[in-house]
Amino acid sequence: MKVKKIPLRMCTGCMEMKPKKELIRVVKTPEGDVCVDLTGKKSGRGAYICKSTECLEKAFKAKRLSRNLETPISEEIYNKLKDEVNNE
């Protein structure tokens, strides 16, 4: 039987490769909007972050999310990510 390949993505906070399903995706849509993508299927440029507050803090302080998405990240998106991490 063939073993199914698990897609890996890099967390922007800790810079570790982890399975895609364990990460939260932040998307910059073709229109330029930034939103949290819980399905992982929205079109646009994506950046991934672990479901831990430490990684979120690291990524936000170093401005890695905004660099990866090539656009500034608003406080609203940051707060939405914080809520999502705290709910896990």
* Beta-sheet strands, E only, within the chain: 8-10, 17-19, 23-28, 34-37, 45-50
Q: What is the tens place of the pLDDT at every residue in 46-76? A: 999 998 889 889 988 999 988 999 998 888 8
Order of strands across the sheet that contains 45-50: 34-37, 23-28, 45-50
pLDDT band at 39 (very low <50, low <70, confident <90, very high): confident
**What confidence score (pLDDT) does residue 15 get?**
92
> Given CA atoms 47, 50, 54, 55 in this order, what sign does their dihedral have?
negative
pTM beyond 0.75, yes or no: yes
Q: Is the pLDDT of residue 44 over 90?
A: yes
Q: Say if residue 66 is exposed, middle or buried (CB neighbours under 10 Å; 0-12, 13-18, 19+).
A: buried
Class of domain 8-86: alpha beta
Domain boundaries, the chain: 8-86
